[in-house]
């Protein structure tokens, strides 16, 4: 698996997208940067998790057009867990999901879902 430093360096290169990838649940499309993140970090599960929360998210008028998704990883001596949070705005959590076990290489990642497109903040 890719190291945290390599992944962060590579993610910085994504400032726009040339292609959109359709999620299999047909709830949104995602960008080249998100595709790279999923491939390099073996994290297609992260895209699936965000897609699985869309029926609940779109019921909130403030989340219909723009969502902030944050994954925060906590590491102990014996395990790594994560919390996935959807926010309306900074520090206004609406949806949370605890993930009991993960090998995600970053301590935190933020993604935006805007206008039906999941993207890295640098691709906005």
pTM (predicted TM-score): 0.93
Is residue 122 within 8 Å of residue 78, measured between CB atoms?
no
Average pLDDT over every residue of 44-65: 95
**CA gap 109, 111 in Å, rounded:** 7
| Residue 25: pLDDT over 90 | no
Average pLDDT over every residue of 102-124: 96
pLDDT digits (tens, 9 = 90+) for 68-109: 999 999 999 999 999 999 998 777 899 999 999 999 999 999
Which among 18, 120, 36, 111 has a CA at the least distance from the CA of 72?
Answer: 111
């Amino acid at each position: 698996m890719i190291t945290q430093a390599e992944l962060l360096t590579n993610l910085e290169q994504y400032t726009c997208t040339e292609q959109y990838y359709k999620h299999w649940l047909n709830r949104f499309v995602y960008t080249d940067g998100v595709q790279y993140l999923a491939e390099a970090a073996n994290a297609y599960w992260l895209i699936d998790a965000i897609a699985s929360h869309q029926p609940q998210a779109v019921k909130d008028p403030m989340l219909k057009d723009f969502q902030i998704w944050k994954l925060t990883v906590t590491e102990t001596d014996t395990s790594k867990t994560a919390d996935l949070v959807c926010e309306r705005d900074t520090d206004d959590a609406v949806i949370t999901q605890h993930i009991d076990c993960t090998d995600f290489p970053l301590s935190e990642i933020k993604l935006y879902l805007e206008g039906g497109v999941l993207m890295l903040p640098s691709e906005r």
